Amino acid sequence: MKKQAPAPSKTELQVLHIVKDFLNELESERALRAVAIDASLEKDLGIGSLERAELFHRIEKAFVIQLPDQLIAEAESIRDIIPFIDDANPPGRIHYHEFFPTLDESIVDPSQCATLVDVLIKYAEHEPSRIHLYLQDEQGKEKIIRYGQLYEKALKAAKGLRQLGLEPRQTVAIMLPTCEAFFYAFFGVLLAGGLPVPIYPPFRPDRIEEYAKREAKILRNAEVRILISFDEVQILNRILRNFIPTLKAVVTIDNLMTVDAPFAETLLSGPDNALIQYTSGSTGDPKGVLLTHYNLLSNIRSIGEAINIKPTDVTVSWLPLYHDMGLIGSWLGSLYFGIPITILSPLSFLNHPERWLWAIHYHRATLSAGPNFAYELCVSKIEDPVIEGLDLSSWRLAFNGAEAIYPKTVRNFLRRFGPYGFKAESLYPVYGLAESSVALTFPPLNRHVRIDRINRDHFNHEQVATPCDSAERNCIEFVSCGKALPHHEIRIVNEQGAVLKDRAIGTLQFKGPSAMQGYYRHPKATKAIHHDGWWESGDLAYRADEEIFITGRKKDIIVKAGRNLYPQEIEEITGQIKGVRKGCVVAFGAVNLKHGTEQLIVIAETREQRLQQQEKIINDIIETITTSIGDPPDRVVLVPPKSIPKTSSGKLQRSNTKDLYLQGRLTKKVTPSWLQFVKLFLLGGGKSISRVAAKLFRTIYTVYVLLIIIITMLPTWLALWFLPQHSARVISKFWARTLLRLMGCPVTIKGAKHLHKNQSTIYVSNHMSYLDTVVLSGILPAGVLIVGKKELAKAPIIKKFITKLGHLTVERADFLESMSDTNFILTKLIEGNSILLFPEGTFSYAAGLRPFKLGAFKIATETGYPICPIAIRGTRQIFRSSRLFFRPHAIHLWIGKPIHPRSRDWREATRLKTVTRIEIAKHCGENVLDMVSTLPVTE
């Protein structure tokens, strides 16, 4: 008899409930079905690093505890979290017991040093007791490392490396998390004459073999001789040699420091190589940026000149040490200028972002940096009680870089932390890239963030950044990243390499003393981006008033939570999964404004129709990607064969696929109608005859409908040129009703009494077909403004209807988070107009009510205007997405009683969305649709 599993404990049930609520908010239906005590957080539930941080925050809040930072990385399943909940300490503010002295100005002049080694030796000789860094653990305890100590222990590591046979200019990989050993290893390699290669470290010691195999391509490309990691790596010594022929040893820092032998210093100069910087995630086709001591010191000195580094400056950083912003911009920059730096682990920040701010508070730090998502995380995750008494007034420059900078994040951070002493002029957007060491452009000091509002249509269609008038609403915003650093140059060029005028959008190129020597052992990649002394950044930008505005990436790299992910690698991994069509996978990043970073989206074609097998394919994809790159995809979408667009030569169109995904149009393509007729007649038989007859009827009816559309629309469109707006709206409404009558599609309306002609109302409706707009135009009051996707304004005839009738167009991809679009709609409501929105955002071939977006309901709570729900039935049957045929069908409209918002908060917007969706679902005649898979339903 099978032994019955023990009943879950009260703690387990509560955690499972928290996880389910969290996944429900993420609208992750597939993951919800997989929730179990032993479900893998990554592979089964699809919870990545940012999602983990939010989940752990909710668990801590529910149990009033504080979980260990390392658990956020090490927990494999829900069960792994349970023991820590029972033993966890109650939450409490970190208390710093050390006295942090204000250091006097250093007597060392690093400007005379030619290498990083020279800088360290000079400080160690003249000021060995000078505090270099505070290394903070999760309890707030800090280990002080002084310049003399850093040199002494790095020298011991150098002796150990020499004893292992390391020769000058040979490479040593450093696979370490943020810890004391990293600093000794880095300078130990330099002192021994080697070339350090920091790489993405394993955050789980029990998975170090998995990580090492994943990084094997980097290790091979760098021709690594020695790998420095932590204790658990000893077992890898023999295994890794099978992957990396050049590898001699895998060691820990303690192994290296046991050697005590004579040491002859390697003479280094500025042109000598100092670092190979592999961007995180570059495991597919590794490109290691090769930098000399001269490159690094030039960049650090230019940064110091641009921001006027002072002896009184103090730095705090949680950035990973394998990342250029954390390694060069924060640590090595502080070391060079002799200013103290406090370093936290990335896990500590991710789990409790307030620790970053408290470290700035207690150390009275003046300089600290983070990517955009870090500032967004502080806004969304930090609650008032945990920062009571926080003082950020010392923070002179808060660098925001390493990924796209969103105006929304800038505004939210200033609004949130202004009351805690943070100054508006302290937020400091910057731009840089590893190929320029780290930094390239900085804005002027002591000014507010400059946000440029430009015309959206000109930007999209003409590739120019035309400034918007103050009253103009169809705008898009970009943040200025300032001017080139001293001694550096930038320019914007077109595809032919010609320099563009101001406000023309093109590729950013740069040159200067910080520019790399090239990609290590990759001459082809180096040649591809080097043009007559200028290096191509791969980023699109425009120049205005001598300042640079980054508008996007020319390349396809996905930046998720500060980490670079390469779509080609992810596509190749996914293509190996059984059930996925080889060569028919696309991966891309989609903006996630909630977290201020990107989401990883994977689209894969499959012939599999069975739902159970589709689930297995999705699970296999998530598991394989997670194992291979260390992060799960945010969404996996299965589509039928031939859904992913390709060029005429058969190449995948990644950007086009992304557009289709954002528009909800990744649906099955059908064979042209004439070919379908031929095939049907060839099949013969009685069964085929009935189908052919049906096709024939639909074809005749379709031709008829197209004719009456042309005949009736043309005079209506011409009339719009001469009639005033009010008359044009009446004519347009009459045309819509007439068209439906001529099509033989009767419209029945229930609840027409709820339509208000003289009161601003927000009408929301389900979306089944392109005909929905025509139907609603015919029954809604003539002054109702329809909110549609911006792409509609591209069609000449439709554009005239939109502009003449005053309808609104918005960017569908980011409408919910777009400040300008929301404000535009708010203004129209306040002016006395009513609006119509489709909260599903789009429609698809697949029948069903899609998830609602929050935009319309946020607007309702902000303005106090009511939501009037409308349910449409029948339009999908008349004209279904991805089909060429029309067919007659009755249309039924249900108009519900307006729902008034009760308050102005976020919860009320969510309540409105839920209530409205329930009401529309009751009357639209279709089931609620799960959008994990977009395979079509069978008719």
pLDDT of 281 reads 41
Indicate the pLDDT class of residue 571, thresholds 50, 70 and 90.
confident
CA 333 to CA 340: how far, in whole Å?
10
Q: How far is CA 580 from CA 9, 28, 389, 616, 637, in A?
A: 40, 21, 55, 11, 11
Q: Look at 44-48, 612-616, 902-906 and tell me which has the smallest mean pLDDT.
A: 44-48
**Number of residues written out for the chain:** 939
| 287: its two tokens | 């490109």
**Structure-model confidence comparison of residues 818 and 226, the more confident one:** 226
Residue 566 is predicted with a pLDDT of 63
pLDDT at 594: 63
Q: Report residue 95 CA to chain centroid gap.
A: 34
User: Within 13 Å and on the Cβ side, how many CA atoms surround 382?
Assistant: 26
Instruction: Tell which phi-psi region holds residue 808, choosing left (phi > 0), alpha (psi between -120 and 50) or beta.
Output: beta
Q: Give 67-85 pLDDT, tens digit per residue.
A: 887 787 778 888 888 888 8
Give the chain's radius of gyration (CA, Å).
30
CB contact at 8 A, 351 and 50:
no
**Per-residue pLDDT, 280:** 46
Q: Which residues contact 178 (CB under 8 A, 6 or more apart)?
A: 320, 321, 343, 344, 345, 346
Average pLDDT rounded to a whole number, residues 94-102? 53
What integer is the mean pLDDT of 337-352?
92
Task: Enter the pTM of the model.
Answer: 0.63
Structure tokens at 722: 């001469």
Asked whether the predicted pLDDT for residue 576 surpasses 70, the reply is yes
Q: What phi, psi does 750 have (nearest 5°)?
A: -120, 125
**Residue carrying the six token digits 């008899």:** 1
Q: What is the amino acid identity at position 750?
A: K
pLDDT tens, position by position, 31-44: 788 888 888 887 77
Report pLDDT digits (tens) over 644-653: 886 544 557 7
* Pairing mode, strands 518-519 and 530-531: unpaired
| Other beta carbons within 10 Å of 671 | 9
Which pLDDT belongs to residue 640?
Answer: 84
| Average pLDDT rounded to a whole number, residues 876-894 | 80
pLDDT digits (tens, 9 = 90+) for 772-803: 888 888 888 877 888 877 666 566 666 666 66
Residue 209 banded pLDDT, cuts 50, 70, 90: low
Q: Which residue has the higher pLDDT, 278 or 675?
A: 278
What gap in Å lies between CA 360 and CA 350, rounded to an integer? Answer: 16
Antiparallel, parallel or unpaired: β 475-479 and 451-455:
antiparallel
pLDDT of residue 195: 97
pLDDT at residue 602, rounded to an integer: 93
Is 784 within 8 Å of 836 (Cβ atoms)?
Answer: yes
Dihedral sign, Cα of residue 652, residue 655, residue 659, residue 664: positive
Residue 938, helix vs strand vs coil: coil
Asked whether 568 and 285 are in contact (CB, 8 A), the reply is yes
pLDDT at 283 over 70: no
Residue 93: what pLDDT? 54
Range from 450-454, 653-657, 747-751, 931-935 that averages highest in pLDDT = 450-454
Q: What's the chain's average pLDDT?
A: 83
Q: How far is CA 869 from CA 558, 749, 900, in A?
A: 38, 13, 11
Q: What does the pLDDT read at residue 224? A: 94
pLDDT for 270 beyond 80:
yes
pLDDT score recorded for residue 813? 41
Kindly tell me if the per-residue pLDDT of 521 is higher than 70.
yes
What per-residue confidence (pLDDT) applies to 603? 92
Identify the residue whose tokens are 């950007």.
655
Per the CB < 8 A criterion, the answer to whether 105 and 311 are in contact is yes
Instruction: Give 308's pLDDT tier (boundaries 50, 70, 90).
Output: very high
- DSSP letter, residue 326: I
Tokens, residue 141: 């305890």
* DSSP summary character for residue 402: S
- Better pLDDT: 263 or 112: 112
Q: Which of 453, 457, 372 is nearest to 409 (CA)?
A: 372
Which has the higher per-residue pLDDT, 789 or 226?
226
pLDDT one-digit tens code per residue, 120-140: 999 999 999 999 999 998 777
